[in-house]
Amino acid sequence: MSFLPYVITIVAPPSLLNQNILDLIEPYYSLKNAQWLSPQEAIDIELLTNSFDESKSIFEKIKAALKSEKIDVFLTSMISRKKKLLIADMDSTIVQSETLDDLATEVGIGEQIAAITKRAMNGELVFADALNERIALLKNVSADLLEKTWQHTKLNDGAQTLVATMKKKHAHTALISGGFTFFTQKVADKCGFHENHANQLGIQDNKLNGTVIPPILGKEAKLFHLNRLTQELNLTENDSITIGDGANDLPMLTNAGLGIGYYPKPIVAKQLLNIIQHTSLRSALFIQGYTATEFINELG
């Protein structure tokens, strides 16, 4: 019998994937042929089944068994497992926070703008309208505060490792954000992304003029860049991996070969099979079958 090669990857925070956790998995699928990707952190379980539905059933049982643990469980195909194109969102994905909210905090209206951001990321508002509304509230703010905001911006754990490792393995990497080019360029430089795309702030006399220079980059543009890069690089749909957290990421997440939600908003979590909810961006490498010994360490 020939089998379609599905694999379940289980990832825990470092050193937490111990025998007690493995004992919870064993009743649902044998670990006899399981392969460690990183000792006590990540393990692969290749499934001997020719049915996606059967594979998903096993996946769901294991996930339910580990529900009370800080463990992430993923189900993917072994076909084109190591991706050749990475597209990542920036805010709350590659970086820890929402950079626009952080900028607003610098001028004392952080909570007001964060409330709008939250609704937009949950899919409750039209993204472009929400973006224009927030930027209008920042009219006449000094552009110097952009740099001050950047100084407080932190990368999420594993961001540099993810990009550096995939680049080392000859994947193309793109940072595509509904945020702003001032920040995406700096994040792209720090992580090593090949390219970055985002919105542009209107600035006059070194002050924000309260506008976003059109066209606005939103969910349609993220999907556009996924399709563009797939064509330009002569890749198949299965060759791509996308990562994001908000509603405007959904089109690129659901149309990629592998779409991963990173601590996603509820509207995103409901539509994705694979979600990073307890671990770091390193998991996006484990999902592709990379071992920890293949990782390129953080750049610092």
Please check whether residue 190 is in contact with residue 209, taking contact to mean a CB–CB distance below 8 angstroms: no
HSE-up of residue 65 (Cα within 13 Å, Cβ side)? 18
166: tokens are 């995939």
Please check whether residue 219 is in contact with residue 249, taking contact to mean a CB–CB distance below 8 angstroms: yes
Q: Closest by alpha carbon to 207, among 143, 161, 130, 256?
A: 143
Concerning whether 91 is annotated as a catalytic residue, the answer is yes
Burial of 30 (0-12, 13-18, 19+ CB in 10 A): exposed
Rounded to whole angstroms, the Cα distance separating 94 from 188 reads 10
Please check whether residue 122 is in contact with residue 247, taking contact to mean a CB–CB distance below 8 angstroms: yes
Rounded to whole angstroms, the Cα distance separating 42 from 241 reads 19
**R_g of the chain computed on alpha carbons:** 20
Concerning whether 89 is annotated as a catalytic residue, the answer is yes
Looking at 44, 72, 89, 249, which residue is catalytic? 89
Please check whether residue 135 is in contact with residue 148, taking contact to mean a CB–CB distance below 8 angstroms: no
Q: Which residues of 254-291 are buried (b: 16+ CB within 10 A; e: fewer)?
A: ebbbbbbbbebbeebeeebebbbebbbbbbbbbbbbbe
Looking at 72, 91, 101, 245, which residue is catalytic? 91
Measured between alpha carbons, how far is residue 246 from residues 92, 149, 264, 265, 286 in Å? 9, 22, 6, 6, 22
Rounded to whole angstroms, the Cα distance separating 177 from 89 reads 5
Catalytic positions: 89, 91
